[in-house]
């Protein structure tokens, strides 16, 4: 239960912020590409130019902070998926799918924004100095990182889903009749008290073989679990 609550909290926190952070990522890179020619720094700068450059520097720092926050949130989702896998699938498929959807949505937006900015930077960077070209290379590296993260997340989601399916199968096998593998276990064998079969299968079995299918002791009676709750 603690795992389920923790995973749900990760989803809620991640999903609420992904739209704003992805938008901020795209906006900051578009603003960077619209900045002025670096050669202008050789001219005399008026107060407005100085203020604009200071604002640009602040936006650059904010952009990097945004990217770091996004990567941290993606790491949070990876950790949530890993908890599901390590726990043996005690969470449910809905949790995994919502985590997957939230992560892919943000990763896709980040990747699209980075690719667009890198492409535009490559075109505008011709003749605009080393700074913009370096930024373009940085963006391309970030695109590669995001793609690698997406591949890792997809693998983790697949492993989490497999763990959940395995856990559900194990639970199913523990609760259904070991003879028909269909009806639920509902009957105690007396006196050994084995509880692995349904009443229908035990009735048919005892009509031809009056021994417990599990321990081979003589069956003295059958007791349905539902009858124990009735006086």
Q: Is residue 181 part of a domain?
A: no
Q: Is residue 180 part of a domain?
A: no
pTM (two decimals): 0.42
Per-residue pLDDT of 94-125, as tens digits, reads 666 666 666 666 666 666 666 665 565 554 54
Task: Report the domain count for the chain.
Answer: 2
Phi, psi dihedral angles at 190 (to 5 degrees): -105, 135
106 & 206 share domain? no
Predicted pLDDT at 94: 63
Q: What is the CATH number of the domain that holds 111?
A: 1.20.58
**Across 34-43, 100-109, 201-210, least confident range:** 34-43
Per-residue pLDDT of 58-90, as tens digits, reads 555 555 555 666 666 666 666 766 666 666 554
Average pLDDT of span 27-41: 46
* Of residues 84, 106, 102, 82, the one with CA closest to residue 93: 84
Q: What is the CATH number of the domain that holds 192?
A: 3.30.40
Helix (H) or strand (E) holding 196: none
Predicted pLDDT at 152: 77
Q: Does residue 214 register a pLDDT over 90?
A: yes
Which domain, by its residues, includes 223? 187-228
Could you tell me if 32 and 57 are in contact, meaning their C-beta atoms sit under 8 angstroms apart?
no
CB atoms within 10 A of CB 100: 19
Strand partners, 190: 221
129 & 27 share domain? yes
Q: Which residue has the tokens 């700068």?
A: 45
Band the pLDDT of 43: cuts 50, 70, 90: very low
CA distance 108 to 101: 10
54 & 80 share domain? yes
The two structure tokens encoding residue 36: 């002025």
CB atoms within 10 A of CB 136: 20
Which residues make Cβ contacts (< 8 Å) with residue 29, sequence separation at least 6?
63, 113, 114, 116, 117, 139
Q: Is residue 73 part of a domain?
A: yes
Average pLDDT, the chain: 68
200 & 125 share domain? no
154 & 115 share domain? yes
Q: Is residue 182 part of a domain?
A: no
85 & 47 share domain? yes
53 & 142 share domain? yes
């Amino acid at each position: 239960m603690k795992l389920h609550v923790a995973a749900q909290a990760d989803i809620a926190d991640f999903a609420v912020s992904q739209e704003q952070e992805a938008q901020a990522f795209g906006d900051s890179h578009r603003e960077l590409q619209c900045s002025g020619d670096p050669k202008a720094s050789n001219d005399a700068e008026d107060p407005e130019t100085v203020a604009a450059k200071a604002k640009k520097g602040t936006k650059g720092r904010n952009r990097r902070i945004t990217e770091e926050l996004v990567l941290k949130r993606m790491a949070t989702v990876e950790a949530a998926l890993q908890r599901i896998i390590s726990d043996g699938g005690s969470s449910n498929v809905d949790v995994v799918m919502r985590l997957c959807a939230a992560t892919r949505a943000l990763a896709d937006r980040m990747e699209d924004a980075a690719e667009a900015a890198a492409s535009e930077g490559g075109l505008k960077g011709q003749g605009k100095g080393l700074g913009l070209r370096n930024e373009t290379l940085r963006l391309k590296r970030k695109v590669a990182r995001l793609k690698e993260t997406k591949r890792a997340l997809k693998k983790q989601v697949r492993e989490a889903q497999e763990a959940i399916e395995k856990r559900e199968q194990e639970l199913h096998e523990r609760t259904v009749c070991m003879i028909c593998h269909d009806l639920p276990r509902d009957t105690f064998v007396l006196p050994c008290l084995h509880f692995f079969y349904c009443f229908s299968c035990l009735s048919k079995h005892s009509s031809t073989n009056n021994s417990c299918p599990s321990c081979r002791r003589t069956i003295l009676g059958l007791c349905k679990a539902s009858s124990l709750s009735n006086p």
